Amino acid sequence: MASHRRSGMSDAAAAALLVVAAALLMSTASGGVVPPRVPAVIVFGDSTMDTGNNNAIRTPLRADFPPYGRDMPGGPHPTGRFGNGRLPPDLISDALGLPPLVPAYLDPAYGMEDFARGVCFASAGTGIDNATADVLVSASTTIVSAYYITTCCSIYCGRGRILPSPAFTIGDPTVIPLWKEVEYYEDYQHRLRAHLGRSRAAAIIRGALHVVSIGTNDFLENYFLFATGRFAQFTVAEFEDFLVAGARVFLARIHGLGARRVTFAGLAAIGCLSLERTTNELRGRGGGCVEEYNDVAKSYNAKVKAMVRGLRDEFPKLRIAFVSVYESFLNIINDPAKYGLENVEEGCCATGKFEMGIMCNEDAPMTCDDADKFLFWDAFHPTEKVNRLMANHTLQVCYQEGVL
């Protein structure tokens, strides 16, 4: 019998869009009427995901001072999020009918009551490679960072301002490596069982959406900075394979611990980050994107995507989606007006060319008035406006791929 239906694919896509729209509507309308679609959002990764864990450790990689958090709901509130407002996991949680912010596991202001509905283990500066989390304390970079921090601070932290506390000293331990995020996840599960009992805890883990974004620092702060010796040890292709293997071990591990719904983000067009454009400019190659880095992101993404497909075959109960951030990112850069953006090259904070973390502070000159016109908040991290697009895209992929 002939069918009037359009292809299954477009039906699925249309259904997905409806569900996303409904979820977004639900979160803006009367909260609490419709039960959340998942019991919790559980987050792993780097500064694109860190909702405040680095506040609790001694590291210069922090964002717990103004103007970070300038556009948080309810008014300015620096929380350690690397952005002017909320991050993708917060927006995903909100859209799914869960709380509007996903608390950091190391934040003493939250307890198991909160973590049962959402928890973040991510740490700014970390990577898939164990060595990435150590970059700032490795011998070669300690001297460079000491110089960088004292010199730039004399310019930017001026007017008698001391670094936001708790401060740090050079040689402090690392940010949280990915294996340690998994240890925290195990610790969390332990506490969740004590809090709610074995079967309710298991149901939460099974139903929770696990959101993962990591990998940028492995290339930009480790491999291409010659910070760890990986450059001498691996070709780019070998390093990609090494990271993909590490990501696979991580995903198999959290699956083994009960995770069933997972999204794993690919790399953005990392050669187009403001900081990389500036580096390109300093090298006398103009201020365009570093195409070499974008090519690496593309080939790495293809390998991650294949690895994720392999995991789906290997673990039938694992519903996992690869989220291709690269294309969304380039779409924004190629057609800013479509998204209401005016500047996709420089960050809003300070000059927008290199400032992030402690360099992006209240005394830094030139910070923009309306971050919604910018792709980047600081020289490395997107604005909330763009995080919304990324969160939306992630949810759409989740519905299309049956993760939600």
Ligand X SMILES: *[C@@H]1O[C@H](CO)[C@@H](O)[C@H](O)[C@H]1NC(C)=O
Using DSSP bridges, classify how beta strands 209-213 and 343-347 pair: parallel, antiparallel or unpaired.
unpaired
Residues 237/380, Cβ–Cβ less than 8 Å: no
Catalytic residue among 71, 90, 218, 378: 378
Cβ proximity of 192 and 202 under 8 Å = no
Stretch that binds ligand X, among 3-11, 16-24, 213-221, 312-320 (CB under 6 A): 16-24
How many Cα atoms within 13 Å fall on the side-chain side of residue 105? Answer: 25
Least Å distance, CB 249 to ligand X, is 7
Nearer to ligand X, 211 or 379 (CB): 211
Asked if 67 is part of the footprint of ligand X (rule: CB under 6 A), the reply reads no
The span of 14-22, 119-127, 164-172, 345-353 binding ligand X (CB under 6 A) equals: 14-22
Of 141 and 174, CB closest to ligand X: 174
Interatomic CA distance for residues 137 and 143, integer angstroms: 9
- Is 81 or 393 the residue whose CB approaches ligand X more closely? 393
Among 12, 112, 130, 373, binds ligand X (CB under 6 A): 130
Q: Provide the residue type at 245 as one letter.
A: A
Q: Which is nearer to ligand X, 122 or 157 (CB)?
A: 122
Q: Which is nearer to ligand X, 27 or 141 (CB)?
A: 27
Q: Indicate the residue among 64 and 327 with the shorter CB distance to ligand X.
A: 327
Of 46, 50, 255, 381, the catalytic one is: 381
Reading the block at residue 322, the tokens are: 């690869």
Catalytic residue list contains 47 = yes
Draw the binding track, 360-399, toward ligand X (x: CB under 6 A; -: no contact): ----------------------------xx--x-------
CB of 180 to ligand X, least distance (A): 8
**Measured from the CB of residue 60, what is the shortest distance to ligand X in angstroms?**
22
Minimum CB–partner distance for residue 391 and ligand X (Å): 8
Tell whether residue 21 is a contact of ligand X (CB under 6 A). Answer: yes
Nearer to ligand X, 180 or 191 (CB): 180
- Rounded Cα distance, 25 and 96, in Å: 10
Shortest Å distance, C-beta 399 to ligand X = 10
Specify the residue, 147 or 179, whose C-beta has the smaller distance to ligand X. Answer: 179
Active site residue 324: no
Asked if 22 touches ligand X (CB under 6 A), the answer is no
Q: Which residue out of 27, 46, 47, 213 is catalytically annotated?
A: 47
Give residues 161-190 in contact with ligand X (rule: CB under 6 A): 179
Active site residue 381: yes
Tokens 């060595």 — which residue? 131
* Secondary structure string (H, E, C) spanning the chain: CCCCCCCHHHHHHHHHHHHHHHHHHHHHCCCCCCCCCCCCEEEEECCCCCCCHHHHCCCCCCCCCCCCCCCCCCCCCCCCCCCCCCCHHHHHHHHCCCCCCCCECCCCCCCHHHHCCEEECCCCCCCCCHHHHCHHHCHHHHHHHHHHHHHHHHHHCCCCCCCCCCCCCCCCCCCCCHHHHHHHHHHHHHHHHHHHCHHHHHHHHHHCEEEEECCHHHHHHHHHHCCCCHHHHCCHHHHHHHHHHHHHHHHHHHHHCCCCEEEEECCCCHHHCHHHHHHHHHCCCCCCCCHHHHHHHHHHHHHHHHHHHHHHHHCCCCEEEEECHHHHHHHHHHCHHHHCCCEEEEECCCCCCCCCHHHCCCCCCCCCCCHHHEEECCCCCECHHHHHHHHHHHHHHHHHCCCC
Q: Restricting to residues 38-57, name those near ligand X by CB under 6 A.
A: none
> Rounded to the nearest whole angstrom, what is the least distance from the CB of residue 116 to ligand X in the complex?
27
Q: In the complex, what is the shortest distance from the CB of residue 178 to ligand X, in angstroms, rounded to a whole number?
A: 8
Which one of 14, 17, 306, 366 is in contact with ligand X (CB under 6 A)?
Answer: 17
Residue 99 burial (10 A CB sphere; 0-12, 13-18, 19+):
middle
How many residues sit close enough to ligand X to count as binding (CB under 6 A)? 9
Scan residues 202-261 and list those touching ligand X (CB under 6 A).
Answer: 246
Stretch that binds ligand X, among 5-13, 17-25, 74-82, 105-113 (CB under 6 A): 17-25
Q: Smallest distance from the beta carbon of 85 to ligand X, in angstroms?
A: 13
Provide the annotated active-site residues. 47, 378, 381
Residues contributing to the site for ligand X (CB under 6 A)? 17, 20-21, 130, 179, 246, 388-389, 392
